[in-house]
Structure 1
Amino acid sequence: MISDVMAEAKEKMQKAVEVAKDDFATVRTGRANPALFQKVLVDYYGTPTPLGQLASMVNQEARTLVITPFDKSALKEIEKAIVSAPNLGANVGNDGSIIRATLPELTEDRRKEFVKIVRDKAEQSRVALRNIRRKAKDDLDALKEVGEDEIARAEKELESITKSHVEAIDEALKRKEAELLEV
């Protein structure tokens, strides 16, 4: 019983850390990276679809990404979605079959703004971890056929698991901040 609750909490916390790292990857650092464009939603036949499902993306140069749509009829919609995507500011051009997205140089103010965005994403992830911990603690408290000592031990273990996952998010945040502030 306790081990099931702990295993579920551990798994959910690990997924929360992975989501945080994925979110960090969507914040640009001055280099064109396909991960920046993965979550851009394109209106594809009336359905918001992630760009990663509609096109292949390849780095051509440090700040230029070449986007090749799988369906050429979606070219205009992809271009429109990239132009309107927040936090990208990409200059977009297409030649009828591919799209070239060039990211502008980052100013120091823009870098600091991105650091704030990343810190906010990290805080949201920490809140998610605390919510997972709270649910696991409630599940442990709901166990009637287990002794109080075992529940207390499990709660201590839950705290240490939570702490290690929060530290993983903080470490990823530190790396991303250093990457953003690097000129």
Structure 2
Amino acid sequence: MISDVLAEASEKMDKAVEAAKDDFGTVRTGRANPALFQKVLVDYYGTPTPLQQLASMVNQEARTLLITPFDKSALKDIEKAIAGAHHLGASVGNDGSVIRATLPELTEERRKDFVKIVRDKAEQARVSLRNVRRKAKDDLDSLTEVGEDEIARAEKELEASTKAHVDAIDDALKRKETELLEV
């Protein structure tokens, strides 16, 4: 029973760390890349749809992404969604069949803004880890057929696991900050 609670908590914490790393990938560094557009939702026939389901994306140049919609009727909606994604700051243009999204040059101020965004995402991930820990601790406390010593040992394991996962998020954050501030 204790092992089930700890295993479930560890699995959820692993997922939270992976989600944080994926979120870090959506914050741009020096090059335009399709992962930056991962969170862009397009209003496609009244339904918010992820951009990668509606179009193929290819790097044309370092700061330019070529977006080719699978359905040409969605061209204007895709263009509007990309222009509305303020975290990208992309200038958008189309020639009737493809969209060119050009990302602005990264200034020092913009890099610092990105660092703030990444730190916020890291804090959200840490909060998620603490919520998992709290639920696991409540589950451990509700176990009545086990001794107090075993529960205390399990709580120590839970704390160690939580610390390891928080450290993983902090390491990923440091790497991303270094990457962002590198000119």
TM-score by length of 1: 0.97
Amino acid at match of 1:67: I
User: Which amino acid in 2 is paired with 1:5?
Assistant: V
Report what 1:89 is aligned to.
89
Shift of 1:30: 2.6
Kept in 2, the 8 Å contact 1:58–1:65? The answer is yes
State the match for 1:99 in structure 2: 99
Let me know the Cα RMSD of the aligned residues.
0.8
Instruction: Output the CA distance in 2 between the equivalents of 1:135 and 1:115.
Output: 30
**2:71 is the counterpart of 1:71:** yes
Cα separation, 2, equivalents of 1:161 and 1:49: 36
1:121: how far off?
Answer: 0.7
CA distance in 1, matches of 2:57, 2:149: 54
The reply on whether 1:147 has 2:169 as its aligned counterpart is no
Residue pair 1:42, 1:51 contacting (<8 A) in 2 also: yes
Aligned-partner Cα distance in 2 for 1:102–1:30 = 12
2:111 partner SS: helix
CA-CA distance at 1:100 after TM superposition = 1.1
Partner of 1:36: 36
Deviations along 1:14-48, one digit per CA (max 9) or x if unpaired, are 11011111111111113101111011010000011
Match of 1:117 in 2: 117
Match of 1:169 in 2: 169
4+ runs deviating over 4 angstroms: none
The residue number in structure 2 matching 1:137 is: 137
Distance 1:58 1:160 in 2: 43
SS where residue 42 of structure 2 aligns? strand
| Superimposed CA distance per residue, residues 104-156 of structure 1 (whole angstroms, 9 cap, x where no aligned partner) | 10110111111011101101110110010000000000001111111111111
Letter in 2 for 1:173: L
- What is residue 160 of structure 2 aligned with on the other side? 160
Q: Is the 8 A contact 1:30 1:104 kept in 2?
A: no
1:52 aligns with 2:52: yes
State the percentage of identical aligned residues.
85
The one-letter amino acid paired with 2:90 is: A
- Following superposition, the deviation at residue 174 of structure 1 comes to 0.6
Is the Cα contact below 8 Å between 1:39 and 1:52 reproduced in 2? Answer: no
Tell me the matched-pair count. 183
TM-score (norm 2): 0.97
User: What is the CA–CA distance in structure 2 between the aligned matches of 1:54 and 1:38, rounded to whole Å?
Assistant: 12
